[in-house]
Amino acid sequence: MSLSFEGRVVLVTGAGGGLGREYALAFAERGASVIVNDLGTDTKGGGKSSAAADKVVEEIRAKGGKAVANYDSVEDGEKLIQTALDAFGRIDVVVNNAGILRDRSFARTSDLDWDLIQRIHLRGSFLVTRAAWNHMKNQKFGRIIMTASAAGIYGNFGQANYSAAKLGMLGLANTLAIEGRKYNVHCNTIAPVAGSRLTETVMPPDLVASLKPEYVAPLVLWLCHEQCQENGGLFEVGAGWIGKLRWERSQGQIVRKKNKSMTPEAVRDQWDKICDFTDATKPATVQESLQSMVSVLSRMESEDQVGANSTAAAASP
Ligand code: NAI
């Protein structure tokens, strides 16, 4: 059975071009009513125009799809959701995709370079998602996408502001996934790679042409479908390839002894062990993370009688 979005109302932010346009077209093609949001800025966030969103709405309508335009900034989150409610009476899916770049080496990053990036990417995603949240909760269905970036996951020269915002969005998604779970409101994060006006300045033209946005959109559609139970995931996607990421934690090492002060020298002396990923664990929740430390406390308490320092295994959950 093909995946239909008939009856679903989907907001894609920054859908006037690049990846967002592709998502909007793909959702509409499968029956969704789409709010094509775009402020129509340049890549650095300057200027504004209704042309970008209008063009995509026209494209969708020309193919017999349902779409309306919205020209507000994601910083006016409520207005975007109001457009969905006014036009289609509900909101089912939010794809937080709008974005700009203000790349600078860290030393040259101005307050404005920092603030604009946090405002559009992180705060904008917060405001749009919060405006949709209660509607999704009440109807017991919602699908939210956060758009992170490899620059956030791995770091990238000249993108301190952008990296911080993009991984901030992952942190936001991690908690939304927990708070939304029991209401069937799921939130996942993608780190896409695609040729667009954002990447054409850093990628050679043939790569920009080959890395098509249409190789990213199918993941977004799947994650936003009611059949998909994935929640709180992080995916890298591009070139037709999709992979999932997760955290890994070394077994670690206890570096203190009961009733003795813990010293930086002990940390130094155990450094290799602390950083050794042999038999690494993959904690997935705060509870799992904390549990291993609580078990260290009790392990040390009981091992004190024997006078032994802990083993690495003591830190495993
Ligand atoms: P793009 O520049 O083609 O599209 C972004 C759209 O967002 C533009 O149409 C722009 O007008 C709109 N926009 C900017 N500020 C806005 C605001 N305040 N309110 C509403 N709309 C606004 O860029 P692209 O490449 O399609 O990027 C889409 C998302 O994917 C961005 O969040 C970007 O950071 C992210 N991304 C893209 C990668 C790539 O390889 N293209 C890599 C990693 C992340």
- Asked whether residue 256 is assigned to any structural domain, the reply reads no
Q: Do 46 and 195 share a structural domain? A: yes
239 vs 202: CA distance, rounded Å: 17
- Asked whether residue 156 is assigned to any structural domain, the reply reads yes
Q: Do 289 and 162 share a structural domain? A: no
Q: Is 196 in the pocket of ligand 1 (CB under 6 A)?
A: yes
- Distance (Å) from CA 202 to ligand 1 centroid: 15
List, run by run, the mean pLDDT of 10-residue segments along the chain (317 residues).
Answer: 97 98 98 98 96 98 98 98 98 99 98 98 99 98 98 98 98 98 99 96 93 98 98 98 98 93 97 98 96 92 58 44
Q: Is 99 in the pocket of ligand 1 (CB under 6 A)?
A: yes
Q: Do 279 and 159 share a structural domain? A: no
75 vs 100: CA distance, rounded Å: 13
Q: Is 65 in the pocket of ligand 1 (CB under 6 A)?
A: no
Domain count, the chain: 2
ipTM (interface predicted TM): 0.99
Q: Do 156 and 38 share a structural domain? A: yes
Q: Do 190 and 98 share a structural domain? A: yes
- Asked whether residue 1 is assigned to any structural domain, the reply reads no
- Distance (Å) from CA 17 to ligand 1 centroid: 8
- Distance (Å) from CA 41 to ligand 1 centroid: 10
Question: Is there a contact between 24 and 50 (Cβ–Cβ < 8 Å)?
Answer: no
- Distance (Å) from CA 198 to ligand 1 centroid: 7
Domain boundary among 215, 245, 275: 245
163 vs 232: CA distance, rounded Å: 19
Structure confidence at residue 304 (pLDDT): 57
Q: Is 96 in the pocket of ligand 1 (CB under 6 A)?
A: no
Q: Do 229 and 283 share a structural domain? A: no
179 vs 133: CA distance, rounded Å: 10
Domain boundary among 211, 245, 279: 245
- Asked whether residue 99 is assigned to any structural domain, the reply reads yes
Q: Do 307 and 166 share a structural domain? A: no
Q: Do 221 and 278 share a structural domain? A: no
CATH number for the domain harbouring residue 96? 3.40.50.720
Q: Do 152 and 28 share a structural domain? A: yes
Structure confidence at residue 314 (pLDDT): 43
* DSSP element (H, E) containing 265: helix 264-269
119 vs 111: CA distance, rounded Å: 12
Q: Is 315 in the pocket of ligand 1 (CB under 6 A)?
A: no
Residue where the block lists tokens 């209008």: 54
- Asked whether residue 2 is assigned to any structural domain, the reply reads no
- Asked whether residue 257 is assigned to any structural domain, the reply reads no
Tokens of 261: 């002060």
Longest dimension (CA), the chain: 78
- Asked whether residue 82 is assigned to any structural domain, the reply reads yes
- Structural domain boundaries, residue 304: 264-315
Which atom of ligand 1 lies nearest, measured to the CA of 42?
11
Question: Is there a contact between 58 and 68 (Cβ–Cβ < 8 Å)?
Answer: no
Q: Do 288 and 219 share a structural domain? A: no
- Asked whether residue 179 is assigned to any structural domain, the reply reads yes
